[in-house]
Every structure is written in C-alpha cells, then in structure tokens.
C-alpha cells in the first residue's frame, strides 16, 4: 500500500519508541538507548516529520493506530554477501568432521567453490535467488542492506554480480548499497601469479564498474593466505581514484595487518576482527577525529558460530571506547544467517554485549559504518521513515533472549508497510 505524495501520516499508539537519537555510540555510550513512551511518528513523503509524545493528530491527513505496540528503527546490515548461486552445506558437513576453513579453501572449496558455481549461473537466476533472500531479511527487520560482489573473480562474473545488486536496488524499496569485492580470493588460474590478478582487478574490472556506476564502495580481503597488505593498499588506492570509499575484511584468521591498512586509507570500516589486540584497538580509536569520523569496527559473530572460531573481542573493544558495529556476513559458506535478530542474540551470549549495545550496533552505529546516519539507523526528524512494529513488549531485550524467534510484526519502509 502506498500513500499520496504530500500526505501526512501519523503513526500513533506506540507504547515505546526506541532509537530516537542519531548520535553514534562510542564505548560506554553504547549501553544507552534513547526512547520515548506513548509516542507518535508523523511521516510525510517517506520522511520523519515529527517524533513526539504529544497529541498532534490535528496535523495529520491520516492516523494509523499501532495499538500499544513497541516500535524501533529498521536494522542496518552493513556486511553481507547476499548474491550467490547456491549454499555450501557440504562444506558445513566437512567442518563438522574436522576440516578447517583454510583446509577447505586450499582444496578448492570456500570462496572458489562459490565462484565456480556463480560463473555457471545466469544473471536472471542470481537475481531470483537473491530476491528471495532479501525478502527474508526484510521480514526479519533489515531495512538497509550492504551487498558485496566477490564470488565472480573474473571480469564478466564480477560485473554480473554487481548488475544483479543494481537490479535489487531498483526492485526493493529498502536502502541497498553495493560493494565491489573483486579482491576476495585468488582464482585458481592466478594462484601462482597473484599480482597479475590484482592487475586484473585494478586495470580491467574497476574501469567498467566505475563507468557503469555499479558500486558504492570497494573492499578487499586482507588476510593470511589471501591479499597482502601491499596488495590491499593497491586495490583501495585504485578504488579511491574512482571515488569509491573503502571497507576492509581483516584479522579474521590471524593478525593480518588489515586494521593498519584500513586506518592508513581512512576506510569507513574494518570487518571481522576475530584476531586483534590492544595495538589494533588503539589504532582504531585514534582514527577518529573530534567530529567522530574514523574507521568503524564491524564484528560478525555468525562466522565464529558456524566456523567454531574465536569471537571478536567486542566486549573488550567497547570497554576500550570503540563504537562497535554488528552485521550478519550472510553468505553461503561461513555465515548462512540472514537475521540481525539472531546476530544480536549471539552478540549477547557469546561476546557479552548488553541488549542495548547490540541494538545500537545494528542501528545507528551500523548506519555510520555506511555513512548513512543522516538517512537511517534512528527514528529522527529528517530521516527515512524505516521502522519496525514489534509483536512483543520489552522487545529490545527480548530480541536477544528469544534466539531464533522473529519479534517483528510489521515493517515500514519510507512510511509504507512492506508486504511480508
């Protein structure tokens, strides 16, 4: 259902409205969530016009009574690999029998397995598969979604992935951002000539992607056995020449130098961080200026859960004063979890984050990692009217409490109810 342009819609009868500040939360600030009791949201042209506990029904052309439900901002998933051909459940079984992530990758599994399957899958098929996944993510409360390429690893296949993401942007009303991750792994044919593959990414892929405006950011997997710090720097610097801000996969399998690369290049975020020390925390903390601009640390507990790896030290990073972000890393191999509700539960039980910290990590802090805090991540005047109507009271704390249960009753995107 849509609403007439310039029509003012009042959403009333909200018992508790969470997330009414667009202030990015650092350290101890993450344990506080600004909320309003007995609230109403006035929406016009998809934007929040007012947030109040007063009766302003006389300003509205239409009133929608939410009958005492709690409401919170739509979730922001800042790190996903939603476009892929098929799942890799066979590798899940291999891991259960003792194979490590690196052993599976060395045997041609992992990213290379997904790349091989994706190259044989048509653009239309990829779009159809991804559309189902996006719809499922929206049903779980995600209204802003970052999607990476990186399962193509050839010029044609990477472009195909990014064109699928572009079609998803045009099809769904939620905010979708595309990230070029051609530097995700080395294809078999470049195993012994890795610098030549970096040449392919920089000289052949990037110019086409830039010309077609297919990407909003660039990313690289700076990790032991993947791209070195020097190679990562080269990819990021090349992307910057085309105006693409960077995000980094780093420190997943070891202290890889990924944080150093991210900070050196003023990357918007560095993601994974399962292996990092106070040295890395200090670098990240010092990357922020007085206005709060710096490299956001993004942690991905779904990966640790599925790979049985150490969890990122989110508790320690928050105590150190950092503005932690949570994301799903939804992908066919190492994190087949598409729900940020599940991720919040893992963050609380496995990384000792509080429900309030987890909530901020999937809303305003996640929005900041995409530089979208003036658009999404909070229910504040001027932002998009993306919000969730919850099906239970005390929803902020019950989300991590009820592992695997969907507490979202309705999803509104730009003030319009999404048909679940």
pLDDT at 157 over 80: yes
Within 8 A by CB and 6+ apart from 132, the residues are none
Report residue 419's pLDDT band, with 50, 70 and 90 as the boundaries. very high
Asked if residue 289 has pLDDT above 90, the reply is yes
pLDDT above 70: percentage of residues in the chain: 99
Query: Over the stretch 244-264, which tens digit does the pLDDT of each residue have?
Result: 999 999 999 999 999 999 999
β-partners of residue 183 are 220
CA 237/CA 230 separation, integer angstroms: 11
| pLDDT tens digits along 213-249 | 999 999 999 998 899 999 999 999 999 999 999 999 9
Taking residues 374-402, report their average pLDDT: 98
Q: Which residue has the higher pLDDT, 104 or 243?
A: 243
- Whether residue 108 is predicted with pLDDT greater than 80 in this model: the reply is no
> Which domains, from first to last, does the chain contain?
8-72+380-417 (2.30.40.10), 76-369 (3.20.20.140)
pLDDT band at 3 (very low <50, low <70, confident <90, very high): low
Residue 246 CA to residue 41 CA, distance in Å, equals: 35
The predicted pLDDT at position 1 comes to 45
Average pLDDT over residues 350-355: 98
Task: Identify whether the C-beta of residue 80 lies closer than 8 Å to the C-beta of residue 329.
Answer: yes
Rounded average pLDDT over 259-286: 97
Q: What is the pLDDT of residue 255?
A: 93
Predicted confidence (pLDDT) at residue 386 exceeds the cutoff of 80: yes
CA-based nearest residue to 383, from 33, 49, 18, 16: 49
Closest CA to 352 of 30, 23, 79: 30
Which stretch of 2-16, 124-138, 310-324, 403-417 has the lowest confidence by average pLDDT? 2-16
pLDDT value, residue 310: 94
Residue range 47-100, pLDDT digits in tens: 999 999 999 999 999 999 999 999 999 999 999 999 999 999 999 998 899 998
**pLDDT average, residue stretch 194-201:** 98
With b for 16 or more beta-carbon neighbours within 10 A and e for fewer, the 126-141 pattern comes to bbebbbebbeebbebb
Instruction: Render the burial of 200-237: b for 16+ CB within 10 Å, e for the rest.
Output: bbbeebbeebbeeebbbbbbbbbbbebbbbebbbbbbe
What pLDDT is attached to residue 130? 98
DSSP string, 351-404: H---HHHHHHHTTHHHHHHTT-TTTSSS--TTSB--EEEESSSSHHHHHHHSTT
* pLDDT computed for residue 4 by the predictor: 60
What integer pLDDT is reported at residue 104 of this predicted model?
87
Instruction: Count Cβ atoms within 10 A of the Cβ of residue 124 and give its class: 0-12 exposed, 13-18 middle, 19 or more buried.
Output: exposed
Which pLDDT belongs to residue 141? Answer: 98
- 43: closest CA among 18, 29, 60? 60
CA-closest candidate to residue 405, choices 356, 361, 339, 352: 339
CA distance 378 to 366: 11
Q: Is 80 exceeded by the pLDDT of residue 5?
A: no
Range from 50-64, 95-109, 189-203, 348-362 carrying the lowest mean pLDDT? 95-109
- pLDDT at residue 402, as a whole number: 97
Is pLDDT at 342 greater than 80 in this prediction? yes
Asked whether 359 and 396 are in contact (CB, 8 A), the reply is: yes
Q: What are the DSSP calls for 196-234, one per residue?
A: HHHHIIIIIIHHHHHHTT--SEEEEEESTTSB-HHHHHH
């Amino acid at each position: 259902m849509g609403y007439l342009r310039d029509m003012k819609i009042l959403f009333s009868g909200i018992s508790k409205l969470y997330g009414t500040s667009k202030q990015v939360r650092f350290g101890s600030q993450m344990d506080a969530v600004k909320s309003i009791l007995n609230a109403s949201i006035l929406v016009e042209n998809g934007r929040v016009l007012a947030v109040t506990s007063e009766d302003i029904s006389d300003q509205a052309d239409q009133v929608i009574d939410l009958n005492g439900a709690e409401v919170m901002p739509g979730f922001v998933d800042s790190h996903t690999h939603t476009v892929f051909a098929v799942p890799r459940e066979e590798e899940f079984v291999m891991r259960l029998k003792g194979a490590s992530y690196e052993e599976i990758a060395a045997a041609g599994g992992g990213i290379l397995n997904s790349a091989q399957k994706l190259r044989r899958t048509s653009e239309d098929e990829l779009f159809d598969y991804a559309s189902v996944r996006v719809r499922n993510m929206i049903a779980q409360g995600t209204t802003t979604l970052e999607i990476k390429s990186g399962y193509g690893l050839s010029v044609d296949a990477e472009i195909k992935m990014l064109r699928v993401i572009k079609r998803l942007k045009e099809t769904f009303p939620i905010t979708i951002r595309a990230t070029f991750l051609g530097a995700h792994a080395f294809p078999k044919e470049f195993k012994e000539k890795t610098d030549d593959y970096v040449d392919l990414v920089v000289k052949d892929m990037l110019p086409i992607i830039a010309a077609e405006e297919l990407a909003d950011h660039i990313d690289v997997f700076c990790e032991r056995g993947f791209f070195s710090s020097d190679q990562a720097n080269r990819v990021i610097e090349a992307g910057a020449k085309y105006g693409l801000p960077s995000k980094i996969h780093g420190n997943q399998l070891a202290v890889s130098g990924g944080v150093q690369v991210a900070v050196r290049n003023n990357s918007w975020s560095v993601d994974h961080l399962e292996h990092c020390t106070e040295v890395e925390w200090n670098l990240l903390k010092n990357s922020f200026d007085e206005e709060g601009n710096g490299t956001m640390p993004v942690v991905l507990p779904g990966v640790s859960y599925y790979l049985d790896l150490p969890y990122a030290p989110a508790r320690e990073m928050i105590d150190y004063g950092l503005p932690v972000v949570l994301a799903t890393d939804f992908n066919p191999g190492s994190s087949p979890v598409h729900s940020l509700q599940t991720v919040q539960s893992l963050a609380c039980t496995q990384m000792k984050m509080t429900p309030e910290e987890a909530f901020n990590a999937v809303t305003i802090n996640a929005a900041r990692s995409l530089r979208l805090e003036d658009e999404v991540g909070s229910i504040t005047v001027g932002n998009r009217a993306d919000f969730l109507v919850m099906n239970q009271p005390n929803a902020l704390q019950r989300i991590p409490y009820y592992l695997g249960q969907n507490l979202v009753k309705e999803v509104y995107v730009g003030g319009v109810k999404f048909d679940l």
